[in-house]
Chain A
Amino acid sequence: MEDKKKISIVCFSGDFDKAIAIFTIASGAAAVGYEVNLFFTFWGFNIIKKKKGRSFIGKGILARVFNFLMGGFKNLPLSRLNFGGISPKLMTYMMKKRNVATLNELIQASIDLGVNFYACEMSMIILGTKLTDFIPQIKEVLGVAKFLEIARGGEIIFIS
């Protein structure tokens, strides 16, 4: 019996370039018939926060300040040579110019192709965030056991 094609990605990183890697693999795999599961945790939350800029979300003063400092989708840094946030903008400009899909296009394609989005329960407890703080595509909040159950029989990648 042929194994079901399945790939599950633990999205630990909140870096711009790594988010591109996540959604390139996710959309590409979904397009060739894989079941794709994205499990967002800790810094990865910056990719899926509903409020795109810096914002004081979460429960408790420490969590709110930490979430503000973590930032959001609009300030995802490049993992190297970020230059105060200019590089991700330059990178998007270069991608458009060379006709390579931008991060937003890759995310939209992943959504359209039915990629599954999940959020990590433990990180949500630490950061005091609720499901409603994230984009509506987040299907469910998962712990490790449930994640392993979903990922079972497929490949797992950790992007840090």
Chain B
Amino acid sequence: MGAVLRALNASFPGIRDRVVDEAGRRRPYVNVFVNEEIVMGSLPEAKLKAGDTVHILPSVAGG
């Protein structure tokens, strides 16, 4: 996933900072799904294989 975020950032500069903070932690209100399964552990270390579908979505939260 770390490589995916870097590649995404190359196409859309700044987008990586919106998903993870500078320490590499997923932002608290951003969820990432791989094949519709939520990633709970370290985001940069999550494993992907060819053909996987990744969704990056904000939580339903606010006030």
Q: A and B: real partners?
A: no
> A-side interface residues toward B, CB under 8 Å?
none
Residues in B lying within 8 Å of A, measured CB to CB? none
